């Protein structure tokens, strides 16, 4: 879908939201290059300090590097994440991205949309829509980090086994 909406556009870049969004963005870039012959730049964004729940969490959050090795101004940016739930991570990513410049366009691509939005945010590209209850979780595992690709829908008592 991304290649269809943006054929041959050299000003398009993908920015993966830590952590799994990075791997998905890199995979999308490879697929688009194979389809369009267009090599897209990719970046990494860490939203830790932009989250609106930072004061409710750990006293010393672990902040990782944001790496956007290209100018953001006037670029078409696709933010990439693994799961879209409340929309709060996406809002934080938008805030973080704006610190790097003013993109011409920002779109959102997610592997899984599980609903239950708390903010008016929607994905432009969705791999899978899953109906969930608020107390269930969607766990995404990526081969790059965990040796296998899988999406799990788990209940509140889940202890980490697959």
Domains of the chain: 2-134 (3.40.50.2020)
Q: How many whole angstroms separate alpha carbon 136 and alpha carbon 153?
A: 7
**So what's the pLDDT on residue 161?**
63
Q: Whole-model pTM? A: 0.92
Longest C-alpha distance within the chain, in Å?
A: 47
86, burial (CB in 10 Å: exposed 0-12, middle 13-18, buried 19+) = middle
| Three-class secondary structure assignment of 2-47 | HHHHCCCCCCEEEEEECCHHHHHHHHHHHHHHHHHCCCCEEEEECC
Tracing tokens 């969705």 back to the chain, one arrives at 126
pLDDT at 55: 67
Note down pLDDT in tens along the chain; length 162 residues: 898 898 888 899 999 999 999 999 999 999 999 988 989 999 999 999 898 777 666 667 788 999 999 999 999 999 999 999 999 999 999 999 999 999 999 999 999 999 999 999 999 999 999 999 999 999 999 999 999 999 999 998 787 765
């Amino acid at each position: 879908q991304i290649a269809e909406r943006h054929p041959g556009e050299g000003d398009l870049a993908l920015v993966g939201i830590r952590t799994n969004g990075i791997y998905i963005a890199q995979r999308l870039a490879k697929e688009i290059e194979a389809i369009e012959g267009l090599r897209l730049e990719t970046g990494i964004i860490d939203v830790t300090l932009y989250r609106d729940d930072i004061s409710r969490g750990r006293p010393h959050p672990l902040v990782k590097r944001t790496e956007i090795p290209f100018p953001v101004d006037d670029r078409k940016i696709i933010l990439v994440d693994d799961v879209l739930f409340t929309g709060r991570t996406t809002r934080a990513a938008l805030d973080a991205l704006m610190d790097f410049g003013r993109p011409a366009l920002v779109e959102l691509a997610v592997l899984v949309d599980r609903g239950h939005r708390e903010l008016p945010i929607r994905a432009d590209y969705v791999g899978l829509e899953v109906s969930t209850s608020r107390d269930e979780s969607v766990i995404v595992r990526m081969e790059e980090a965990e040796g296998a690709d899988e999406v799990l829908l788990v209940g509140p008592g889940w202890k980490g086994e697959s």
